[in-house]
Amino acid sequence: MTLVSELVLTRNSLLQMVRGHDDSEFTVPLQRLSHITSDLQEGVMKTRMQPIGNAWAKLPRIVRDLALETSKKIELKMLGAETELDRQVLELIKDPLTHMVRNSADHGLESPEDRANAGKPEIGTISLNAFHEGGHIIIEIADNGQGLNLDKIAIKALDSGIVTESELDDMSDQQVAQFIFRAGLSTAEKVTSVSGRGVGMDVVRTNIEKIGGTIELKTVAGKGSTFTIKIPLTLAIVSALIVECSGERFAIPQISVLELVRASVHSENAVEMINESPVLRLRNRLLPLVALHDLLNLGDKKEELDEELFIIVTQVGTYTFGIIVDRVFDTEEIVVKPVAPILRDISFYSGNTILGDGSVIMILDPNGISAATGQGGSVGDSKAAE
């Protein structure tokens, strides 16, 4: 895979050299080389693909042991075990998946007596489902248990100082449920081999976001909970949108980009200020915006919002926000290189890459930008649109 990555970099460099010279004698041979490189890349990628069932192999035994330990009756259903993804990604999600299944068995499912009293079958069910969607793999972990105790989560969040009472009053049930991903917050009554230490779900989310994925939670009291994980099929070579801000170029993974919008005060898509924060009125909905030059302290800021702006509409999980940039170039297949150790604590970047002209640029991480700027759909949700 390393050699294929280097070949892709060389291909991009050669294509950059003939760009704008359609009459060059090298154009046709380079196009042929580009097609061959893409075919070779696809072939190598196929050899790296493994069924996700390999990561699920130990789960039946783990669930069986947990059922004995907790005196519960548990059935594990696995669908889509043949769904394939890159073996590097497979190795990275094994532990998070195992933890989530253990959590469902310990926290989610009730005892046979409680289930009988609630009019449910004594046997609780944990379901795993995997399928492809575009350039992602979607993994759903669901249980038909009691759902999350949102009142207990809210009390724990208040006691931990994570949220204030006034903020809590404005939150929906699903927003309260997201607190389980915060470090140190546990609703377990006692510490067991599975839970109660206040670590786990925050680590799960962190590990999934490190590989460019997202995790979403839906819970219904008395019905159960469903976790939906969305991760890229591969980490080595990805399609990215190249943008520029204050003279610096950046790459944004194409899988996170929903659309591009050109906005100005004279256009239908106008940028407005609400609570001193820029928002875009897009199709009768308010979209929160993040100015990249402010976020990264790049300087050379556009003085007025009525100038023409390019906005990258980005989705992280169920949340959507826009990133303001100065220019938008083309999409390009890039080879993802890890960030230097000195930059690993900066959540805005997921890696770096080398462009066809030899320039080294940073790859922006929409997950990190969303977390750092507090973009959780608070402006862009249905309330704002009303």
Provide the residue ranges of all domains of the chain, joining segments of one domain with +: 2-48, 52-232, 237-385
pLDDT of residue 365: 87
Lowest mean pLDDT among 214-223, 271-280, 375-384: 375-384
Can you tell me whether residue 329 is helix, strand or coil?
strand
Task: For residue 385, name the pLDDT band (cuts at 50, 70, 90).
Answer: very low
pLDDT of residue 243: 95
**pLDDT tens-digit profile of 66-98?**
999 999 999 999 999 999 888 888 998 999 999
Tell me if 374 sits within 8 A of 289, measured CB to CB.
Answer: no
pLDDT of residue 72: 94
Can you tell me whether residue 213 is helix, strand or coil?
coil
* Topology (CATH level 3) of domain 237-385: OB fold (Dihydrolipoamide Acetyltransferase, E2P) (2.40.50)
Other residues' Cβ atoms within 10 Å of the Cβ of residue 221: 13
Q: Which residues contact 82 (CB under 8 A, 6 or more apart)?
A: 51, 53
* Topology (CATH level 3) of domain 52-232: Heat Shock Protein 90 (3.30.565)
Query: What rounded mean pLDDT belongs to the chain?
Result: 83
- In degrees and rounded to multiples of 5, residue 344 shows phi and psi of -65, -20
Which residue's entry shows tokens 């493994």?
A: 50
Tell me if 153 sits within 8 A of 217, measured CB to CB.
Answer: no
**pLDDT tens-digit profile of 292-306?**
988 888 865 554 555
pLDDT at 190 over 80: no
Quote the tokens at residue 31. 């196009």
